[in-house]
Amino acid sequence: MAKRDPRGDSRYHVPNLMRGMKIMEYLSSRPEGVNMIDIAKALEMPNNSVFRIAMTLLELGYLDRDEKSKKFTLTRKLLALGYAAVSERSLLEEALGPMRALRDEVRETVLLATLLETDAIVLEQVSGTHPFHFSIDAGRRGSLHCSAHGKVFLAWVPDKEREELLSAIEMTYYNENTITSVEAMRKEIEVIRAQGYAVDHAEELAGVHCLSAPIFNQKGYPVAAITVTGPADRMPAGDLERIGQLVRQRADEVSAKLGYGAMIGREG
């Protein structure tokens, strides 16, 4: 007799826990904050339930509340849990040195990102040295189909997980460079795996190029990605291959520190 999977069995659901997670997911895409009434309206939850859950999360340190506007925002506590979830001999500690070295080589902002459900989320950044440089806050989510680090995860996660992601993500159109079909993304994945890094050719933000390479754990799973982001005039098309190789080299350094050095190849 087949065993029942508790993840799909409503008998094991805890309603208030589910509501709390939905509230945090909702706030994760609204860094400006949302008040209790608007949260309740958006999520179709009773006002009193939202208030009790939000105040509990506030007490536990997962939410902040502005005393004037009464708006709730997420704190960095969830991000700390995220670090722990992807940490293998402390991912952040191992990555910062190569990230800084890469920043010094290209002078542009360098990001560390990981996969969270159907998004790529930024864990940390090392700011560029140009007077004008991009800054992306930790916790910022990026779409998988149009961000360089998002494409990295699509390219190197196991086949089954890739198919699940491709069927789940919404390929929103931003401009003429955006990939909006699964067929086109499959072709892009072939290119990415062949060259060892992914490129965002201004596919979401006009005039912005990004290059990203995977960080593998000891088992060969892409637990994170290192990304360089900068304006297209400082990272022109003719220079992307050179920068891509630098990104890949630094990502490989972190992979080796996580125990991937004994494994051969990237096709696993």
pTM value is 0.69
Per-residue pLDDT reduced to its tens digit, 196-222: 999 999 999 889 999 999 999 888 999
Report pLDDT for 7. 52
Q: Is the pLDDT of residue 134 over 70?
A: yes
| φ, ψ (nearest 5 deg) of residue 237 | -55, -40
Alpha helices in the chain (DSSP H): 15-28, 36-43, 47-60, 77-86, 91-106, 148-156, 159-168, 182-195, 240-257
Report pLDDT for 1. 45
Report the 10 Å Cβ neighbour count for 47. 12
Q: Identify the residue with better confidence: 261 or 171.
A: 171
Per-residue pLDDT reduced to its tens digit, 71-116: 999 886 766 566 555 554 578 888 999 999 999 999 999 999 998 8
- What is the rounded average pLDDT for all residues in the chain? 87
Report pLDDT for 248. 97
Domains and CATH numbers, the chain: 6-75 (1.10.10.10), 87-262 (3.30.450.40)
Token duo for residue 127: 């700011």
Report pLDDT for 118. 87
pLDDT band at 265 (very low <50, low <70, confident <90, very high): very low
Q: Is the pLDDT of residue 231 over 60?
A: yes
Per-residue pLDDT reduced to its tens digit, 141-189: 889 999 999 999 999 999 999 999 999 999 999 999 999 999 999 999 9
Q: Would you say 54 and 63 are in contact if contact means Cβ atoms under 8 Å apart?
A: yes
Report pLDDT for 235. 93
Report pLDDT for 267. 42
**For residue 13, which amino acid is it?**
H
**For residue 64, which amino acid is it?**
D
Report pLDDT for 131. 82
